[in-house]
Amino acid sequence: MPHAPSQNAKIYYESHGEGPAVLFVHGAGGNHAAWWQQTAHFMPDHRVPTVDLRGFGNSDTVADGPDSQDFPHDILAVLDAAKVERVVLVGQSIGAAAALKAAVLAPHRAQGVILAHSLGGISHPALAPLVKADRAVAEKLPVIDRLLTRSFQETERARTFLFKQVGTFNKATMQDLRNLTSGGPTLEQIEAAGIKISFLAGERDAVLSPATVLAAEKLVKGSRTNIIPNAPHSMYWEVPELFNAAVRGFVRELYAA
């Protein structure tokens, strides 16, 4: 199994297909295998690296729990090991923050960043209270109801079970992650790095509201937003055809720029 050395950890990754690269970064309940519906879709005409951030999947765990400030370095280590020079980074939830930080650290490697169901940890005083308010509403729900719609859970029992099982291969949990909300890039840092940002949101996201995403879009110069009707926080899993079509549209625009 391929691993990339990243500071004090070995980071597992896979790479499938050939063509313009699109790297997927998982959220807190996922790992590289969570992207099975995206890898199969994109690999016929794109190179598709996937990664297990430290503490997740087949990557090393670390003492005292993973420091989220190391996640961007894990991504860049995978790009080096896989010999990917330039890439569109697609991050889901907390993986979006890692993807955006990686792009700011190495803007020459990033063709663009797609922030799925996340603001990517962007540091701005107008956004922090909106994210906090959304989080307070989400925390009133059972965890699974924050991620998948109740109708999907009832009609797609096998896929719901598999969704939960993917997370059992992780050593880290959300509670184990350190510095999760610190060190986010400022608007000035993003603009100085020349990072092109696309926001992908779900109309029924119980964790981050479309209104909050649209507020971020107004602040980030040149950014784009696509809000998918009836889609939940884990759109990539529940309605992959909609997620994949939206990502493909953004990827096409970013590589054409």
CATH of the domain at 105: 3.40.50.1820
Q: Say which residues have a Cβ less than 8 Å from residue 243's Cβ, sequence separation at least 6.
A: 38, 116, 200, 228, 231, 235, 236
* Consecutive H or E run containing 89: strand 87-92
- Is the predicted pLDDT of residue 1 greater than 90, yes or no? no
Average pLDDT, the chain: 96
Residue 226: predicted pLDDT: 98
Residue 17: predicted pLDDT: 98
Residue 177: predicted pLDDT: 86
Going by pLDDT thresholds of 50, 70 and 90, the confidence category of residue 175 is confident
- Is the predicted pLDDT of residue 109 greater than 80, yes or no? yes
Residue 6: predicted pLDDT: 96
Tokens of 221: 């110069």
Residue 188: predicted pLDDT: 97
Percent of the chain scoring above 90 in pLDDT: 90
Q: How far is CA 42 from CA 21, 75, 118, 250, in A?
A: 10, 19, 22, 13
- Is the predicted pLDDT of residue 194 greater than 90, yes or no? yes
Range of the domain at 104: 3-256
| CA dist., res. 118 & res. 109, Å (int) | 21
Instruction: Work out the average pLDDT over 26-44.
Output: 97
Going by pLDDT thresholds of 50, 70 and 90, the confidence category of residue 112 is very high
Which DSSP state fits 4? E
3 state SS of 47: strand
| CA dist., res. 255 & res. 242, Å (int) | 20
Instruction: Work out the average pLDDT over 233-256.
Output: 98
Tokens of 99: 């993807």
Tokens of 85: 């020079």
- Angle subtended by helix axes 94-105 and 71-81, to nearest 10: 60
- Per the structure, the count of domains in the chain is 1
Going by pLDDT thresholds of 50, 70 and 90, the confidence category of residue 173 is confident
Instruction: Point out the least confidently predicted range of 40-44, 58-62, 89-93, 148-152.
Output: 58-62
